[in-house]
Each structure stands twice: as C-alpha cells, then as structure tokens.
Amino acid sequence: MKIVHTADWHIGKKLHKHDLSQDFDLFIDWLAHFIETEKVDLLLISGDVFDLANPSSEARRQYYRALIRLQKLNCKIIATGGNHDSPAMLDAPQEIMRALDLTVIGGLTQNLDDVIVPVRNSTGEIELVIAAIPYLRDADLRSGEQASNHEDRVEAIRTGIERIFAEAAAICQQKYPGIPAIAMGHLYTAGIESSESERDIQIGNLAAFRASQFGNYFKYLALGHIHKPQRVSAEKPVFYSGSPFPLSFSERTDEKRILLLDTRSGYEPKSIAIPSFRRLLKLSGNLSELELKLNSLEHHASLKSLIEVDLVEEQYDAHKVYALDQLVDQFQTDGFEIVKQRVQFKNQIDGSSQLYHEEQQLEDLKPKDVFAELIATHNYAEDDQHEIMAAFDEILEDVQSGNTGV
Ligand SMILES: [Mn+2]
C-alpha cells in the first residue's frame, strides 16, 4: 500500500496580508499528478487543514475542491484537526464526508474507537489501520486531579498524551490483531526546530513530548504541527512532513516535501521534494545596499516573489527612513512585491540610554525633556527644531487627552 503523509496545509493563510491561495492550488495540482502517477492508495493530512478556526468561504471552497479532486483519483483520504482548526467546523459536514468515503476527524470524541480507521486494499481486505489522532486539547487530556503547579500541569499533559496514544494502540491491537498500524498526531515533540508561523505557544508545546512516549506499537508516526520537515526519532520512524509551501519568512529556506511510504518495503518514508512555486526573500543592508539589491532581482518562480526589506543603518537618521519609504513606494518590478519593511539603527539603544544621567529615575523624566534631548543630538536647523518640537507637543497633547486617533 502506498501512503502519502502531509500536514499543515493552512488553507486560507495570508502572509503579511498577501493571500497564499495560489500556492495551495499549485500544490494540489502537483499532488494530484503525483498521486495519479505513483498510484497512491492513501493520503494522510495530519492537522492544521485551515489557518483559521473560522475560515473564509473561499478557503472552504478550496478545501472541498481539493478533497474531491484527490478522492476521484482512487485515493483514500484521512485528515485530522490541528491546533488552528475548529473541531466543530471540520466535523460539521461529517455525514457528507462519510458518504464520499472521506475521513475527517476534527477533534476527539468520548469514544476513542471513533478515530481508529481500518484501510482496505483493492481486494477488500483490511491491510492497515490508522489511529487518526487529532490535536489534543486541554479538555481531552484533563485527568481527575487538578495539578497544583506548573510543572505538575505540564507533566499531566505529557502523561495524558501518552495515555491516548497507548489506548489507541490497544484498540488497534484488539480490534485488528496482526494488522500493521500507523498513528497520526498534531503536537510538538521535543528537540525540534520551529518557525514563526506556528503561531500559538500551545500548552502542548510547553509539554515537550518525547518520541519514545508514542510507544512501540505503531509502525510509523505521521506528525503535523512543525512546519519544517524532519525526522524526530532515530529509533522508530517518527516524522514531520512539514507544510507543503512556506507559510512564513522563517520557512523561506526549508525544502518543502511530502513523505511517501510503500508498506511492501517497510515504514521508512521516501522524501519527495515539492517544487517551489514562490520565493520569499529577505533583503537587508543600508540604504545604498538595499537599492542595489532591489535593482538586481531576477525572477524565476511561477508566483510573485514576496520580499521583506530590512534597512540597517548605524546612526539614527529620519531622512533615511523617509528615503526607504520612497524606495519601497517606487519599487515596481514584475514578479516581485515588497510586503514588509523594517528599520533598524544599530546605535539607537546606546543613544537613548545616553540621554539621561544614571542617577535620574525614569519617573522623574518628562516626555518633552527626553524628546528635546533626543533632537538636540541631531544637527537640525533651528527653525526645523521648533517645528519638530511643535509637532511633538501636538502629539503629546493628543496622547495625554486619550485621543490617539484609533
Ligand atoms: Mn501548523
């Protein structure tokens, strides 16, 4: 049986307000082609199907469209909910899903049997069983006793996760003795590099779970939650497939992949690279370096490359900030879009601490005095200084009267 393991689709994801729906469509095109040519029997999607608990109608449309398209390729699909998904939202169309032979487990129910899914081969025999365990929420893990301190609480969560995987293994063994079992999971396991887009520091994250706690019964652990593809344990095949395309700039150098298993030859997955549809670029330097970099971009990806620009200058200079704004405003190169700009002055922190004397207390300082000292360190003409000070007064008045214009 051929199985593809993927996770963290985050349908509906926006990167600095830039919609990544085209990335998803291109990935599904590629995946459909792969499933068809490789004759894949089973697709596992280990959580974070959507980016938001209440996805837009466009995101939902994409999801249903993708499921139907892949299912028509004679490939069974099992998807679980992640920490970004709403279990209720994923489970709502369950009747229709079931009628279409699509298995979606949004969240844990009272009965753990519900997540144990037998998979039949073309001759109708049960060849494999999947423990489709979704992201485990606090309520799924809470045991009778209340933990008194943080450490106990974290330990209780860890034990709770361990218990659920052990119980799932026991059900598999009891109901389908001798049939190999694979478990899905959406959680953080210890010793893993993560990236910016795993937005929430979940309780599950704090409770760094150890790969050995999955037990010995499952042949393979198909994990989601960490967006960088990686193997977790050397002993048993415990893998994060990672997200299919970069969801944040911290993932821009990841090699995105899906994992392919062929149970005839065992449970070590083959890593299949997903083509890169879009480049994410981080450009940093002083003003003239940035200008040079922005003028020498070369386009070679199917979708628009997105750019983050970091201006790094030694000395604070308002003109440089303005010049960067202009540079960004005027930037117009086909195939590229600047989605974020940042300014950093290396001496800024030194500068502000030099503004007041050591024996001065913060509460003794008046905003206007601090500001006056700040602008005194710059070589502004006297007229400009007056104008800047007047503008500061105006802002200060607004702030103090609570009228912040928000
Ligand atoms: Mn995720």
What are the extents of the domains in the chain?
Answer: 2-273, 279-354, 355-406
Amino acid 144: pLDDT: 54
CA–centroid distance, residue 187 to ligand 1 (Å): 9
Measured in angstroms, how far is the CA atom of residue 258 from the centroid of ligand 1? Answer: 15
Distance (angstroms) between ligand 1 centre and the Cα of 8 equals 5
How many angstroms separate the alpha carbon of residue 222 from the centre of ligand 1?
14
Ligand 1 center to residue 12 CA distance, Å? 12
Going from the Cα of 368 to the center of ligand 1, the distance in angstroms, rounded, reads 46
CA 297 to ligand 1 center in whole angstroms: 31
CATH 3.60.21.10 fits 2-273, yes or no: yes
Cα 215 to ligand 1 centroid, rounded to whole Å: 24
Q: Residue 378: what pLDDT?
A: 76
CA of 90 to the centre of ligand 1 (A): 15
Nearest 5°: the CA angle 185, 191, 197 is 65
Contact indicator for 51, 85 with CB cutoff of 8 Å: no
pTM, entire model: 0.82
DSSP 211: G
Find, among 23, 92, 95, the residue nearest to 60 by Cα.
92
For residue 10, how far is its CA from the centre of ligand 1 (angstroms)? 7
Ligand 1 center to 356 CA (angstroms): 45
Q: How far is ligand 1, taken at its centre, from the CA of residue 62, in Å?
A: 18
- Dist. CA 230 → ligand 1 center (Å): 14
CATH fold match for the domains 2-273 and 279-354 = no
Helices (H), 254-307: 287-295
Q: Encoding tokens for residue 263?
A: 């149970």
Least Cα distance to 105 among 84, 120, 88, 118 occurs for 88
Ligand 1 center to 190 CA (angstroms):
16
Q: What's the angle, vertex CA 98, arms to CA 164 and CA 272, rounded to 5?
A: 70
Q: Which tokens hold the place of 248?
A: 């944040």
Cα 50 to middle of ligand 1, angstroms: 9
Cα angle 60, 65, 67 (rounded to 5 degrees) comes to 95
Q: How far does the centroid of ligand 1 lie from the alpha carbon of residue 339, in Å?
A: 22
Q: 172: exposed, middle or buried (C-beta count within 10 Å: 0-12, 13-18, 19+)? A: buried
In the reported structure, the alpha carbon of residue 204 is separated from the centroid of ligand 1 by a whole-number distance in angstroms of 13
Q: Give distance in angstroms: CA of 1 to centre of ligand 1.
A: 27
Give distance in angstroms: CA of 225 to centre of ligand 1: 4
Distance 22 CA to ligand 1 centre (A): 18
- Cα 379 to Cα 339: distance, rounded to the nearest angstrom: 33
Q: What pLDDT, on the 0 to 100 scale, is given for residue 266?
A: 96
* Signed CA dihedral, 172, 174, 176, 178: sign only: positive
How close is the Cα of 84 to the center of ligand 1, in Å? 7
Residue 143: predicted pLDDT? 61
Report the separation in Å between the CA atom of 83 and the middle of ligand 1, taken as the mean of its atom positions: 7
Beta-carbon contacts of 139 under 8 Å, excluding residues fewer than 6 positions away, are: none
Closest CA to 348 of 325, 372, 371, 374: 374
Question: How far does residue 340's CA lie from ligand 1's centre (Å)?
Answer: 22
pLDDT by residue for the chain (406 residues), tens digit each? Answer: 999 999 999 999 999 989 999 999 999 999 999 999 999 999 999 999 999 999 999 999 999 999 999 999 999 999 999 999 999 999 999 999 999 999 999 999 889 999 999 999 989 999 999 999 999 988 888 765 666 777 777 788 888 999 999 999 999 999 999 999 999 999 988 645 555 555 444 444 455 688 888 999 999 999 999 999 999 877 889 999 999 999 999 999 999 999 999 999 999 999 999 999 999 999 999 999 999 999 999 887 889 999 999 999 988 888 999 999 999 999 999 999 999 999 988 876 555 555 556 566 666 778 888 888 888 777 788 888 888 888 888 888 877 776 544 4
CA of 198 to the centre of ligand 1 (A): 5
Instruction: Give residue 169 CA to ligand 1 midpoint distance, Å.
Output: 25
What is d(CA 191, CA 158) in angstroms, rounded to the nearest whole number?
15
Q: How far is the CA of 3 from the centre of ligand 1 (A)?
A: 21
At residue 202, the pLDDT reads 45
E strand or H helix at 118? strand 116-120
DSSP element (H, E) containing 236: none
8 Å CB contact between 93 and 145: no
Other C-beta atoms lying within 10 Å of the C-beta of residue 102: 19
Spacing, Cα 372 to ligand 1 middle (Å): 47
Three-state DSSP at 378 gives coil
Q: Any idea which architecture 279-354 has in CATH?
A: 2-Layer Sandwich (3.30)
Q: 191 CA distance to ligand 1 centroid (A)?
A: 17
Report the amino acid identity of residue 184: M
For residue 373, report the distance from its CA to the centre of ligand 1, in Å: 47
Q: How far is the CA of 132 from the centre of ligand 1 (A)?
A: 17
Name the 3-class secondary structure at 245. Answer: coil
Angle at 319 between CA 314 and CA 323, to 5 degrees: 100
Neighbours of 219 (CB within 10 A): 16
Cα distances (angstroms) measured from residue 257 to each of 7, 71, 150, 260, 315: 10, 20, 37, 10, 43
Helices 57-71 and 21-38: crossing angle in degrees, nearest 10, is: 10
Strand ranges in 197-243 using DSSP code E only, listed in sequence order: 220-224, 230-233, 238-240
Q: Which amino acid is at 133?
A: I
